[in-house]
Amino acid sequence: MEAGRYPDCYILGDNGYSCKNYLLIPLLNLRTPAEQAYSRAHILTRNIIERAFGVVKRRFSCLSIGMRLKMNTALAMIVACFVLHNIAVEMNDVEPPIDININIPINDYNAVPINPPRLQNQTAARTALINTVFSQQ
């Protein structure tokens, strides 16, 4: 993504990350209807992604507790977990049950960002997306 190999693709993040041209994070101050529409879409989409990650983490607990592996080994393990999960979904495997005793952190989309300074050019893609897609709703 940093190298620009996927120019028309975006990653959604929370306020723990800096806004980049490929990484879309929530707005802190919603001033226009377009910004409100973007924020709504961002939250709804991230919630779907978080729920999907939750299913995979329940199926493969190693993804929930952290891995003490070399980076390349951890990456291969994560990819393997998602491949196996996709196979399980295609085979109509039953989703793992939700453990009600596990504390799952709730994302606060209005939290103060960890690294607040943002340069104008880092938010250009998000601003363009808001102005072209969400201003027409």
Report the run of H or E that residue 40 belongs to, with start and end: helix 33-59
pLDDT of residue 101: 63
- H helix intervals, 60-95: 62-65, 71-90
Give φ, ψ of 97 to 5 degrees. -70, 155
Predicted confidence (pLDDT) per residue in 43-87, tens digit? 999 999 999 999 999 999 999 888 899 999 999 999 999 999 999
Residue whose tokens read 């028309």: 8
Domain ranges across the chain: 11-136
Q: Any idea which residue has 């529409």 for tokens?
A: 37
Q: Which pLDDT tens digit goes with each residue over 6-20?
A: 888 899 998 888 888
Contact present, 21 and 116 (Cβ < 8 Å): no
pTM: 0.70
